Each structure stands twice: as C-alpha cells, then as structure tokens.
A and B are shown apart, each in its own frame.
Chain A
C-alpha cells in the first residue's frame, strides 16, 4: 500500500479515543449487536408463519437489521473511527444478551410483536451513535475511486457473507436446530470477531484504503479453510474427536458448552479475519459499505440454494451450503478486481491479481456436499435421501417398516412408525374440535406442514374433501410429496404461502410441529381473524408452560405414553378445550439449553401438565395427568416401552375415582384409561390392574379394551375360565374383532376348551389367510383339540419359518415347544 492511499480524511491513529468516545462506541456496539441478534423473526407474521418463516422473508429481516446497523455506524462516525475495538466488543456483548432472553422471544415477548421488541436496542444504538457523532469526513480519492472502493467493499463483503452463511448452516446442524443453538453460535461468532479486531486490526495503526480489501481477501481464503474444518467435524468420528479433545460429551450436542466448542472451531478463522477487516475498515462509510454487503449476501443465498422447479429427488444435485463457500469466493474475487481499479498502480496490480486468483478458486475449487447426520448418535441413521434448500437440510430416513420420516435440520416433519398413532389422534382431535355449530366436520383444510400419505388418509377418512398445504419450506414440498406418495396420487392443492393470502375458504387451518429453528410468533393466534379455526400442534421439546397462550388448549394423547398440546383459535366453547392455569416463569435460552437434550421433552410436558392442573376448572383427571407427568424420568434403554412408563399410585387412584364418578367420558379420558390398561398389562401389574380398572370397566360397561386387560390379568392368575367367561359376551357382540377373538380363544384353550377356540378363530383365519400369528394360534388350538389339521397348518407355516420351535413342535403334535436346542437361551438374547 502506498502512502498516498493511507489515512485520507480520518484519524486512524488511535483505536481507543477518549473515554467518552469509547463509551459511545460501546453503547453503539451493544445496541447494534442486540438489534442484529433479534432481527431473526419475521416482522409482520401471518398464520402461514406458524410452522416457521420462509427463508427469503427471514433473510429480508436480517438484511433490514444490517441496513439499520449501517445507518447507525454512519451516524456514530467518531466512535467508529476512534474506538473500533470498543465498538466490536459492544457488538459481541449485545449479541450475547440474546442468550439471556426468555425462550420464544425477547424482553417484551408477551406484550409486543418482534419489531417492537427490538426497539430498546435500536434506541440504545441511536444513543450510542449520537454520543459518538463527530465531524463528517469523506473517503479520499476521485468519485470513481470512491465508488470503486465502496462498491468493491460492499460486494466483497456480500461474498464473504455468503461464505460465512455456508459455514454457519453446516455448523448449526451440529446443534439441535433450536433458536438457542442459533443464539450461542452467533455469540461465539461475535466474540471471535471482537477478538480478531483487537488482535489483528489494532496492529494496523494507519489503515489505508486497500487494507480492508486485503483483509476481505484473507477472510475469503480463511472461509475456504473453515469449510474443510467444518466438513471434518461434521463426520461422526470427527465430531466425537472434537468433543473428546475439549473433554465434552458428544451426546450433549445442543447444549451451550458443546455448541460453543463447535462454533469456536468452525468460525475461528473467518471470524478473526472478519474482525480484522471491520477494524481496519474503521471509516464509517467503509464500515457501512461492508454492512450493506453483508445484508445483500444472505438475500442472495436463498436463490443460490433454490431447488425450484425440481420435482423429484433424482434431479437434485446441488452442493448445498458447501457450494456457497465457493460461490462466495467467486463474488469476493470479482469484487476485489473491481475495487482494485480505484487504487494506485502497484496496489491495483497486486489486489487485482489476488482477486483474479480468488475468482479462479471460486470457479475451480473442488467442493463436495457436507451432509450432517446426527454425529452425536452412536449409530446415525443413514438417510435414503438428503438434500438442501434455503430452508435447511432435508433428510428422508427409514422410520420403521416401510415408513419414511422427513426431517428438516434434524427436526422431524413427519412421525416415525411408533408415533403414527399419536399423529393420527392429533388430526382426529383437531378435526373433531373444528366441528361447526350444526355438528358438521370441516370439509376444507389448510395443512401447514408436511402432508404424508398417512395424514392424507386420516383426513380423508374424516370426510375432508380439500387438503391444501403450505409451509415456509414450501419449495421442497413437491419433491418430498412426490417421493412419499410414490405411486399414489397426492391430493392437489400444494403451493407457496403467498397464494393463500385469502384463507376464508378454509374451515380449518391445521399446523403440525414445525421443524423450524424459530418458533411461530407468540401472539399470532390471538390476533388472527377470520371464519376459519386454527389448531397448531406444538413441538414436544419446546417449552410452552410460560407462554401466554389463549388460556385454552387442545389436548391429545396416545395412551399415557405420549401427550400433545395444541394452541387454538376460534374453536367453539364445546370443542373440548382445556383451560390453563397462569403461565410459569419463562426459562432463558441458555438456561433451557442447559437441560439435557434427552430430558427436554419430559420437562416440557411436566411443566405443561402442571399448568393444566392449575387451570380454573381442573379436576381429578387433570391433576392425575400432572402427577403422572411429574413421575416420569430417564429409564433404562433395555426396558420395553411400557416398562419405561412410571406409574404413580396417586395418579392411578385419581383417574379411577374420576372415571367412576362420571356418567360419560370424553375421548381423551377414554384414550388415557385405555393407555393405562396397555401399560399395566405391559408391566404385568396384576393386582394394580384389578384395583384400578375393574371399577371403571363396571361403571362404563361394555368397554372391550379394559375387559381384555382384565381377562389378561385373570389369565395371569391362571383363572382362564373366568377370563373366558368375561370375554364371551364381548366376542358374541362382535365376533369379527380380532383382538377380542384372539384373547377369548387363548383363554378357551388354556381353560381346556380348544374345540370352542377353533370355532372362534377359524372364521377369522379364513378371512385373513395371510395373518400368520392368527393362523399359528389356530394351529395351536387344533393341536390342543387333537385335530390333525393343526399339524398340517403348522407344517405349511414352518416352510416360511423353519427355525421356529413352536411351529416345529406343532407340526409334530407337540404344543409349546420353546427351543430346538436344550442349550438355547431366551429369544431376546439375554
């Protein structure tokens, strides 16, 4: 850099200035940092944002925050010039305050929309800028040189912002995709920027015009290096090795400590370089140009990661976030070439050559995709497909049987096989609750979230004729639905959010758990107006007990193992809503993140249940739910699902007393009591089964599910005649009910009436010849009745399962053979 290019029109000598300027810079920095950290949610949300904001909208909000920051630093000229270290330190502090915000919002979370919630930080920044205001100074050189320099800086910064966005997107997936992870990553990034400014920027006492451009070039190269680092730690072994090096437990990914380690490793090179760049930029106009560029970058990212109009997985070949690092280098390189035209001869050549080299890197750098597959898991699930859009990383994973589960940045958009029933129950509850005054169920539904074939079938079975759907990630919806529906036709009606601006045509807006890193706006449902009903099912691991909800929520359960809460709007009084008690204190983001990830869902439900129990009309049923939720804790992974459910004797007594005192039970109450029966049977709690269920079954007879469990308990007592007598009227009332028929037949065989059992089983087996368990039971009953047909059926079944000892024995007329070898252990390998 020649001397004539250094220090034109501003004081680059001191980075601390006097105390007043330093304080002004600090206040300005804190305000700007606080502002930037909170400009993450959409400013004017609609119901369509319930499941997360569209990425371009989110980028616009962030860009708006950066533009505001640019205007503020332009105003705080003297502070920027004389105390850049304090400014960057203040920014880090301001960003860090986000970690102390309550979950789901900031200081004004309950009383204001997001754009008002940032007002205090805006005011603080304005005060700092005013205090740090000084004499205007121009960037030196001709008009062309100024334009070239500032334009080069802006577009160079845009390129770097694209690169950092690419690294951050990958690094964030090493957390759990919550807004807390976002806050911790941003804080570490800002702290590194401040350190970079202090450590490297201060070593350049008289920064010239070319210095920020050189610093940008270094930042761009550092970002390329950071990509290789983050790609290494995104692998399971790399992640675990990183955690081990810092003495951290990889299973605690998503907690502040592990997030900080990941952020530190991923961002250290580019963030230090960015700090140095901002420090040496020092002049308010240059700093503003850099901030404007940083605003442009993320806006461009949405189009860089766009997969539209792809319709199937096979045609997706995007490099995703890794590609952004390369594209950013290209942009920065070109920007440097442009900016070099405004410099002196020697610098022009050097910087132009460097820019060209970066451009070549941007074009030729070999980059491959960096998929992130739950590296903290011992055995990460290998997805059947993985791709990226601006919304995040989508995976399609095997989820039990032929089912596939879709995730967005590790957060589920659809259920696993063992969650299907709970998912279906939620739909049934929502549709039933949206019944109109004449008792008609909704015909037109707008689904905000992923429509799976199972969800479509449930909705159609409930009489829904039109199922439109949308989500913030709508761009990927076509690809996902085409894959999930495979050979089946998906219902028409899928599109981007903007086409659903008028929603009067819907009877029900149904939002599933979001998969979004930021939650839906808190006051949205309160302000929503329209003739439609809204039901928003809440994420199981996101705290809700503190939220000032509509005081009434919809409850759904899958037995007593899984409960779900939905926020609602405009449902009728008789929709079966539950009134809530007063909100609990909100946890801070960092406080909530400190809870073990595998403990979060349990904690969320425990607090929510406590609030339900504190509701004005809560009774024994609700109090029992709270007691049951409070009794749950971490169990051995070697226990079965029902063994892992803890039973609180007081809760069981309350459920029993409540059920016996009522003439009729609500669907949720019946679901809970049937779930209780299922758990009692799974845990083989015989005396407790009689004590709890017998009075309920007597009061609300006939109740087949409870009667079957009581018959099972009688079988455990070896009282098979009593069990058969209990089941006989149920079977006579509904002989086609397979569960009842099988239980009845089992009791008959054990009671010494195998011929009667054959009569019970044969019609069902004839109707479903492919049902092997049913056919095996028939063979057993026939063998017990000394009928040769039993041996014949067993031989048939044995052909497909030749190592089955039970069938082997039955084929020879021997019942209950447990092992083909006397030395064999139990079938579960224990």
Chain B
C-alpha cells in the first residue's frame, strides 16, 4: 500500500515475470476446493499475527518482493494448533522499494489481527533461493473469516470461480476439507 519503486520499476517487472516462471504456472491460477486441497500441503485457520515484506534477489540482480504472513491458529482438517509463515509475491519494504502484484490479497484482508483461512504449499526454491510455505495462487487461497454475532466463525467466499465461492460456516468447510483429504489419501 505504498508508492511503487521508481527507478527499479522495469527491473521489478522483469523480476515479477521471472518469479511467475519460477513459481510455476499452476500457482498463478485458481482452484476448485478439491484442486486446492490436492495441490496444497495443508490449510490453516487463524489470525494474522505479523506481516512483513522482504526483498529477494531474483537471480539476475533484480529485486523481487515477497510478503510473509505469520498465522497463529489450527490446522483446518485436524484442528491441531499450528503457527505458520506463508508468503506471496508483492509488497513494499518501504515507501520506494516494492511492487504490487495482481494476485496478492487486498491490504485490508491481510491486516494484522484479521481472521483467515489459507491453503499453503511447501517450496524449496520459490525464487533466488527463497524457500518456505507459499500461498497458492495468491488471493485465490486466502479467505477472510469473521465471527458472527451468534458466535459462529464464517469463512467469506470470494465469488464465482474460487474454491470457496459463497460464505460458509467454518465447521462446514472443515468437514468438507476432511472429506476431500480422506478421498485424496484413498486415491493414493
């Protein structure tokens, strides 16, 4: 949510392209819920505890920026406590250095304290030696949550074409994900 870097604009664009190629084509599209469960290593529901941005060398000297969210919560399927750092391309280190990315979630969806469900995938070399849990497809695998006045946790769907298209109760989503996980294990 800061002005784009000026002189590094062209280099950043190249770096973004390189990152897109490095991350792999399947990470810049969206998924059905089944595909998302298949493609991900896991899913976490919790609150964003910290948000940070780091600058990475794309390998050719040009900078590329990644935002990392620390989420404290529980595994969506098992309910076990889990704290995880997930990252996605885009973000600003300071007012001048950084880049916006079309796939990154909106800033208000990733503010500290916000409830979210995220689906993540372990990568050993995202770009320039960067490793960690990647948010699959950027905003396509992050779904904000909130607590209703009756105390239920609601997961906000993103609309037509997304893995969670309509709002659902967290308990319903958990049940569906468990079912899909089971099916995935049986298929293997």
Contacts and interface: CB of A to CB of B under 8 A. Distances in A.
A716 B138 contact: no
Given A638-B100, A717-B154, A818-B160, A825 B3 contact: no
B30 A830 contact: yes
Given A634-B2, A716-B167, A826 B149 contact: no
A718 B2 contact: no
Contacts of B147: 687
A636 B144 contact: no
B102 to A, nearest CB: 5
Interface in B147-180: 147-150, 152, 154, 156, 158-162, 165-167, 169
Contacts of A719: 148, 150
A635 B152 CA distance: 32
A638 to B, nearest CB: 5
A127 interface: no
Contact of B103 (A633, A646, A830): A830
Contact of B154 (A643, A646, A718): A718
A252 B104 contact: no
Interface in A627-648: 633-640, 643, 646-647
A633 B1 contact: yes
A635 B1 contact: yes
B100 A717 contact: no
B148 A830 contact: no
Contacts, number: 97
A634 B165 CA distance: 29
**Interface bin, chain B:** 35 or more
A599 interface: yes
Interface string A216-254: 000000000000000000000000000000010101100
Contact of B161 (A596, A640, A819): A819
A416 interface: no
Contact of B108 (A251, A643, A806, A825): A643
A686 interface: yes
A826 B7 contact: no
Contacts of A824: 161
Contacts of A634: 1-4
Interface string B100-113: 11111011100000
B1 A826 contact: no
Contacts of B150: 717, 719
A690 interface: yes
B131 interface: no
Contacts of A684: 144, 156
Given A635-B107, A825-B29, A690 B149 contact: yes
A493 interface: no
Contacts of B167: 716, 718
Contacts of A639: 106-107
Contact of B7 (A247, A633, A687, A827): A247
A826 B161 contact: yes
A792 interface: no
A311 B181 CA distance: 72
B101 A638 contact: yes
A687 B113 CA distance: 13
Interface string A786-830: 000000000000000000011000000000101100101111101
Contact of B6 (A252, A633, A635, A825): A252
Interface of B: 1-4, 6-7, 9, 29-30, 32, 90, 100-104, 106-108, 137-140, 144, 146-150, 152, 154, 156, 158-162, 165-167, 169
Interface of A: 247, 249, 251-252, 596, 598-599, 633-640, 643, 646-647, 683-687, 690, 716-719, 805-806, 816, 818-819, 822, 824-828, 830
